[in-house]
Amino acid sequence: MEVKRKVTIVGPFLYPWGQASSRRVHGLARSLAVNFDVDIICGNTKNIKSDEDEGIRYQGVGYETGSETYLSKFIRVIGQNAIKTVGALRRKSNKPDFIIVYGGHFLFMLPLLFWAKINDIKIIVDVVEWYDKNQLTGGRYGPVHINAKLALKYVYPRVDGIIAISSYLNSYYEKKGLHTIVIPPISNFQSCRTQQTLNQPRKLIYSGYPGIKDNIHVVIEALKVINNDNIKLELLILSPKINSNYTHLSFVDVITNIDQKNVAKYLSQADFSLMFREDKVFTKAGFPTKFVESMCVGTPVIGNITSDLDRYLINGETGFISSTLDVNEIVEIFNNVVQLNVLEMQILRENCKIMAENFRYFKYTSKLKEFFNLI
């Protein structure tokens, strides 16, 4: 019987729930666990548990949280978290063959790289973002942006391999001469829909953080137009941060406090989910997890093309594409959506479930094994 090689995933994330990063790591761990012995060192409060359903062990080392603006405290906190991670690795009775780092930027990476080199352990980084200076506290010269960019440009090109969430990031690091592989978000969400009838009025859903990556403003303006005479489309917004100007609109409902585990239920109950993003480097580099979750529950998507969505968002099959963020074009799409019948919607939902097979963990088990064999 072949002895499985050991992989430890580390980084400043909660596991298995709590953040978008939690589910990214969970999906990756499930894919790896078929061929590798996988465990996780994460930012949870100190404990050791086992994810019994998946057989994945995880250990929380109690990461500190610090100011994103005060440089000295920021450096101290990140350094302490890195040292805690190295300490947990040193205490392992059996050292891993590979370490995968998620979300570890410049200051976090340095102690890990040093320890891994001494112990002849390969380091792989899971890269999911290319940060814009306007996304992060402090802007271009803030410690968060500098910490991230130093890692993306100068540290990650020196590791042993890159797992990229998109073809954009894959291409960037492939040109640096690294072994790379594209692994999009992976989800185990299933549909909670119990009937095939259409909602009246039709129900749209948006989940995320408006203004950071997503443009919800154009959606609201389009809904104002189409709902001018009577309400044909309702919008449910799942977001801890939302413009108060939207909450008074009769066709908008907002939930600001939602357990991550319940998102699938709300997505399943909607007729369409929404995803409109600006054409920026960070939207090309990332990959929207909410798109994947929507496909997995069989809810078609209305949005524009960013990242690798052109491979999965097929106009009229898994949703509807707006070529621009123009309100008039979105209104036209909404008018078409209102006129869809039950059979047409059922076909869209079935197409989404078929497309969702591209985002299941078993799709990548063999590819990941081949990738690790090269490192």
Domain boundaries, the chain: 6-187+361-374, 202-358
Q: Beginning with the edge strand found earlier in the chain, give each strand of the sheet holding 272-275 in spatial order.
A: 252-255, 233-238, 202-207, 272-275, 301-303, 319-321
CA 109-115-117 angle, to 5 degrees, is 95
C-alpha to C-alpha distance for 373 and 375, rounded to whole angstroms: 6
pTM to 2 decimals?
0.92
Is the pLDDT at 192 greater than 70? The verdict is: no
Name the token pair of 168.
């954009």
Of the CA atoms within 13 Å of residue 178, those in its CB half-sphere come to 27
C-alpha to C-alpha distance for 32 and 79, rounded to whole angstroms: 28
pLDDT of residue 324: 95
Is the pLDDT at 48 greater than 70? The verdict is: no
At the second CATH level, the architecture of 6-187+361-374 is 3-Layer(aba) Sandwich (3.40)
Other Cβ atoms closer than 10 A to 217: 16
pLDDT of residue 228: 92
Is the pLDDT at 190 greater than 90? The verdict is: no
Residues 319-341 have a mean pLDDT of 97
pLDDT of residue 248: 85
C-alpha to C-alpha distance for 326 and 6, rounded to whole angstroms: 50
Contact 225, 194 (CB under 8 A): no
Q: Which has more confidence, 158 or 258?
A: 158
Q: Average per-residue pLDDT in the chain?
A: 89
Same fold for the pair 6-187+361-374 and 202-358: yes
Distances (CA, A) of 287 to 29, 130, 282, 336: 18, 11, 9, 27
Q: Which secondary structure element, helix H or strand E, spans residue 60, and what is its range?
A: strand 56-60
Q: Is 201 exposed, middle or buried (0-12, 13-18, 19+ CB in 10 A)?
A: middle
Is the pLDDT at 184 greater than 80? The verdict is: yes
- Which residue is listed with tokens 């940060």? 131
Q: How far is CA 139 from the centre of its chain?
A: 23
Q: Which fold has domain 202-358?
A: Rossmann fold (3.40.50)
C-alpha to C-alpha distance for 324 and 321, rounded to whole angstroms: 9
Give the pLDDT band (50/70/90) at residue 146.
confident
